Chains A and B, each alone.
Chain A
Amino acid sequence: MISRSLETTLNALALLAVSAVLGVAFLDQFAKDELPCPLCLLQRAGFLLLAIGPVLNVARGPRPAHYGVTILAGLVGAGFAMRQVLLHIEPGDAGYGAPFLGLHFYTWAFVVFVAAVAACGLMLVLRAPGEEARPAVRLTGLSLVAVLLVLAMAALNTASTLVECGFDSCPDDPTVYRLLQ
């Protein structure tokens, strides 16, 4: 069994991992000038959905229901990613965007969403029973930094998506930032 403090730390690290994933996506967007497609943006939204469970765990204390939220988010996000994988499954299809470490971002996204579901299963097995009865801890230190980083990523994605798509529907294959035209 793992202690409550270790469980909280692992959830904070999960939030940092989500922020890192969104950070890499931003880096690719701005450094390589690759605009994310609507499905790519939806997968970023999936990662923010994935962050809700760990945020609840670090802010209100770990509970099985919070892991349930993460598992649902992982399944939803994996569905988004798998849709994009299947759109480019045909032999000879170059895929959308440049590969990263040999795989396209949507393939990595699918792997991470599935890994998150597996990690939740592992945490539910390893956590001490009855821990949720204890009062929640205050949001400080690593947990606070991790939560603020995820909030910053959500805010940045809101602004960048607004600049990219403008006040209209996002094009399937975006080439320009509409609000900067």
Chain B
Amino acid sequence: MYLAALFALLLAALAAAAFGPMRLAGILIVASFLAAVLVYLHHATDPLPLSF
């Protein structure tokens, strides 16, 4: 669900970047970056198969 929400947020950010006011675009762009990193952190729980 939140991955679909992330894509919807990106769609809004891209549309605002192209056609909307710059202030709204800026807010949506920052929100998109934050949401993408938060979704990544939510999924990056498995340990990596690395040993040094």
Binding site for B on A (CB under 8 A): 38-39, 41-42, 44-46, 48-49, 51-52, 55-56, 58-60, 69, 72-73, 76, 79-80, 83, 86-87, 89-90, 93, 139, 147, 150-151, 154-155, 157-158, 161-162, 165-170, 172
Contact = CB atoms under 8 A, between A and B. Distances in A.
Q: Is the interface of A mostly helix, strand, loop or mixed?
A: helix
Contacts of B15: 151
B43 A38 contact: yes
Interface bracket on B: 20 to 34
Given A52-B32, A86-B50, A42 B3 contact: yes
Contacts of A151: 11, 14-15, 18
The 4 closest A-B pairs by CB, nearest first: A154-B11, A158-B7, A162-B4, A161-B4
A70 B49 CA distance: 30
A158 B4 contact: yes
Contacts of B10: 45, 48-49, 154
14 contacts: A45-B10, A49-B10, A60-B22, A69-B29, A72-B33, A73-B33, A76-B33, A76-B36, A83-B48, A86-B49, A151-B11, A151-B18, A154-B14, A161-B4
Contacts, number: 101
Interface in B1-52: 1-4, 6-8, 10-11, 13-15, 17-19, 22, 25, 29, 32-33, 36-37, 39-40, 43-44, 46, 48-50
B17 to A, nearest CB: 5
A129 B20 CA distance: 27
A46 B40 CA distance: 11
B48 A161 contact: no
A158 B8 CA distance: 6
A45 B13 CA distance: 12
Nearest to A167: B1
B33 A42 contact: no
Given A45-B6, A49-B32, A154-B7, A87 B14 contact: no
